[in-house]
Amino acid sequence: MTLLDGKSLSQKIKDNIKKEVEELEKKGIVPGLAVILVGNDPASETYVSMKEKACKYVGFYSIVHKMPDTITQDEILATIEMMNKNPRIDGILVQLPLPGHIDTTKILEAIDPSKDVDGFHPYNMGKLVENLDSFAPCTPIGVMEIFKEYNIDLEGKDVCVVGASNIVGKPMAALLLNANATVTITHIYTKDLASHTKKADIIIVGAGVPNLIKEDMVKDGAIVIDIGINRLEDGRLVGDVDFENVSKKCSYITPVPGGVGPMTIAMLLKNTLKAAKRRVKWKS
């Protein structure tokens, strides 16, 4: 069994981005990322703090707009419009989830697609499905980078995606199809999950259910990508896979933490750099 080390890979990607930013700075160009954080959700605050540190490491200009959970939708939209027009900002990210009184779809659609470094705008989603150059959501492209790093060929592989969210499951499936994999998507209404996972060469799970994937649901030699991150009552962080037992049957598996999580932030930086290059028509 080979452990797919997203932590080391993400550091390598950040180091490469840092070098590229140093070259851009010689031309007076500094990539800029703006984040909107609404409310005081501890997990969201932690994620935003990690993104701030990552931006500082690679040399990006970054700003966080912290807003109370009583903020109106129109006030958020006005802030996004301001950032759409700001030439220093290449990427705009709205930290999810948003409070219940805010229409998340309307907020995400307000972001200029050329600054949509989270890849959630319908324009970028549509381009992704058609296999056109776009900003793809960071977690799925982080998974694709892991496959690339470990020379895992997806062509013709049977892949089972567990979870069908707009943020992870659906774009993940599109990327896999674009790589010529055969894709099955399962979700909360799937009648017999194990019947799908047992047949898969690769299982990618992002359902938010601790230890959902058990040893008897995985065939020998399968590749398992665990996107889930769940905090148990005893404080431990675990994924959606019973790592201890499933890992005994795998050829490759991602750990939690240290697998897909660090790659998500690395891909956010990569998308922001891509947006900055586009802004100045920099050819990579």
At 20-37, the pLDDT tens digits run 999 999 989 999 999 999
pLDDT for 281 equals 75
Please determine, for residue 213, whether its predicted confidence score (pLDDT) is greater than 90: yes
Please determine, for residue 91, whether its predicted confidence score (pLDDT) is greater than 90: yes
pLDDT for 280 equals 80
pLDDT for 108 equals 97
**How does residue 104 score in pLDDT terms, banded at 50, 70 and 90?**
very high
Please determine, for residue 283, whether its predicted confidence score (pLDDT) is greater than 90: no
**How does residue 170 score in pLDDT terms, banded at 50, 70 and 90?**
very high
pLDDT for 99 equals 94
pLDDT for 42 equals 87
pLDDT for 279 equals 85
SS3 content of the chain, % helix, strand, coil (to 5): 45, 15, 40
Tell me the per-residue pLDDT of 241-262, one tens digit each, with 9 for 90 and over. Answer: 999 999 999 999 999 999 999 9
Tell me the per-residue pLDDT of 136-162, one tens digit each, with 9 for 90 and over. Answer: 999 999 999 999 999 999 999 999 999
Please determine, for residue 284, whether its predicted confidence score (pLDDT) is greater than 70: no
Q: Which of 90, 115, 116, 118 is catalytic?
A: 118
Q: Give the rounded distance of the alpha carbon of 24 from its chain centre.
A: 25
Q: Which of 14, 51, 115, 270 is catalytic?
A: 51
pLDDT for 206 equals 96
Token pair belonging to 94: 């709205």
What mean pLDDT value characterizes the chain? 96
Q: Is residue 201 flagged as an active site residue?
A: no
Please determine, for residue 44, whether its predicted confidence score (pLDDT) is greater than 80: yes
pLDDT for 282 equals 56
| Pairing, β 182-186 against β 230-231 | unpaired
pLDDT for 76 equals 98
Q: Round to the nearest angstrom and report the end-to-end CA distance of the chain.
A: 36
Q: Is residue 95 flagged as an active site residue?
A: yes
pLDDT for 235 equals 85
Contact (Cβ atoms closer than 8 angstroms) between residue 132 and residue 177: no
Q: Is residue 11 flagged as an active site residue?
A: no
How much of the chain, in percent, has pLDDT values that exceed 70? 99
Q: How far apart are CA 38 and CA 48, in angstroms?
A: 11
Average pLDDT over residues 187-209: 97
Please say whether the dihedral angle defined by the alpha carbons of residues 233, 234, 238 and 242, taken in this order, is positive or negative: negative
The amino acid at residue 147 is F
Q: Kindly report the pTM of this predicted structure.
A: 0.95
Instruction: Give me the helices (H) in the chain, please.
Output: 6-25, 42-58, 73-85, 104-110, 122-129, 138-149, 169-178, 193-197, 243-246, 260-279
